[in-house]
Chains A and B, each alone.
Chain A
Amino acid sequence: MSSNITSSVSAISKRHFLSKEWFIEQKSLIALIVLIAVVSVLNEYFFTIDNILNILRQTSVIAILAAGMTLVILTAGIDLSVGSILALCGAFAASMISLEIPVLIAVPVSLLGGAVLGSMAGLIISKGKVQAFIATLVMMTLLRGVTMVYTDGRPISTGFTDVADSFAWFGTGYMFGIPVPVWLMIFVFAGIWYLLNHTRFGRYVYALGGNESATKLSGINVDRIKIGVYSICGLLSALAGIIITSRLSSAQPTAGMGYELDAIAAVVVGGTSLAGGRGYIMGTLIGALIIGVLNNALNLLDVSSYFQMIVKAAVILLAVLVDNKNK
């Protein structure tokens, strides 16, 4: 019996390694490696430890948003409100820090706030039977408005207290020579990976995205799964907001505008299907890194920022076309 299982498991992994299927599955990773190789040849500064850490830190915010977005998209949903949650929770955290509320209280409370905001979108979608696009569009506009009212359109500084200094660790600190935001990104991806591959919740996420009525008929509470994924997405948006606020020592009311699209792009470039039910969290990490490396490389290569947008669009289109072809 047990030999049977191990043989079938090893058969799968054997099939993947360096075979054609393996290449197809790992194409975003291969694209990333090719991209890095090409840019390294074109610019000698690119492949230095400083620059790599720089890229990773710059990518971390979008990557963390994209991790939550992956969960949502796997259920065949979408979340446009991540940028607004980022701004509101960042502003909320900044004002708590400026009031010298300890980091150990301010940060968890902000994260919880993000989860609650996300769960509201989940409730509207599951109980109100509103399409995810509309529900999160409403949340996006609403929460941006709330942020503007709350901040009166002005940045909120975290101040110059000891509390503010320790809060700055999230965006500017280092652990073992690696920036804290990069550590946070790694933890987030490890956590979501575990969730998707080793818990019932993760399995239900894939099932829900693959076929909602079959999932329902299998006795699974799909409303709870939906609320769950939007809550996690909201929580991670809040985490991204904390990183940005901490890094700048202030919360900008316009922070995170347009980030939802970057996050969606990272998910899609990473090979997750917008139709739901199919995708990998590690693909999203690679997708985010591809976009991050591309931004960095275009800067190093002195491509004007106007052109950068065009190149980015071309790369995203290419990635999606290649993905379609292999289906």
Chain B
Amino acid sequence: MEKRFVYADNSATTQISKPVLDAMMPWLTEGYGNASSIYSIGMDSARAILKARETVAKALGAKTSEIYFTSGGSESDNWAIKCAADVSAKKGKKHIITTVFEHHAVLHTCQYLEKEGFEVTYIPVDEMGLVHPEDIKKAIRPDTCLVSVMFANNEIGTIQPIEEIGKICREKKVWFHTDAVQAVGNVPIDVVKMNIDLLSLSGHKIHAPKGIGALYMRTGINLPNLIHGGAQERSKRAGTENVASIVGLAKAIEMATADIPGKQQRLSKMRDRIIAELLKIPESRLNGDPVRRMCGNVNISFRGIEGESLLLSLDLEGICASSGSACTSGSLDPSHVLLAIGLPHSTAHGSLRITLGDGNTEEDADYIIEKVPKIVEKLRAMSPLWERILRDEDIDAE
């Protein structure tokens, strides 16, 4: 096939879509009024924000008053967890439950709280990358203030039994937060039916700009502020509203949730074809559950090669993807998610994540299927580790 550009890293970020950009443009140009101002161009901004809030609420099955705009997923996670902890500590509740393979926005926030005197239970996941609701149930104590479980994993795409976990938390009267940054637009979400108390979402994963997100906070939960200052967001989150991005987020979530079954059908077909073809490569394995996984997520490990080399080689062919190798994680250890599902370090280093999105076509899949095996073969030919694997040596003994 002729060289082409294939963006297959939609779980990292997405391109702003044309309808989103069009919806935003007026608010980046003539509609510059401060939403707190009383004159007409200020009120226009305030009206646009209200309308956006209604749209976001509708997409989640929430009430308009339960949506707060933030700077993104990380801020929403920090707000939900730190402030739930803060308010609960005053009632003597200083125990938090989360899982070992959360996004760092949750994990590092929990680790910070541990230093502040909170106790955190990290629930393990099984080898498929699924949380067992029973484990959550058993971990809940009288002093548990919050359970935080991600809706869908960003690396291996596993979709968690959120409704079951929500039911347990509601029964036990423990607040339930979910980081739904990856799930929004890929999985139907109903915060009422799923008993979700707090939910984080982000715009740039669904074709809105970077730097915008939201926190859903159920009526009756009154978390203190993370950001103090002016009276924006009903005095819950200070800072002059980013009107254009808020409008963009609303347009994006409206479009992303308009036909989730259709998206799932289209992308999972492409996903499964890529998985089936790439698993024909010797010494490869699929990471994560084959069925309970996000429709666009492919995560495969190739033994004997290192992920960053794989990504750079793919980039030379025009393919953008991601990996859980240490070299790409910016730390000395490979992805905590891949280690959590029991992969040895050497296998985690050789992982490839392809995340398909609205812009991908069957031709993109063909191109990926053509290029990846050739690159794996080339890298293995120059890998002293591959030699040892071929000799059947135990490479993980060290």
Partners in one complex: no
Interface residues of A (CB under 8 A from B): none
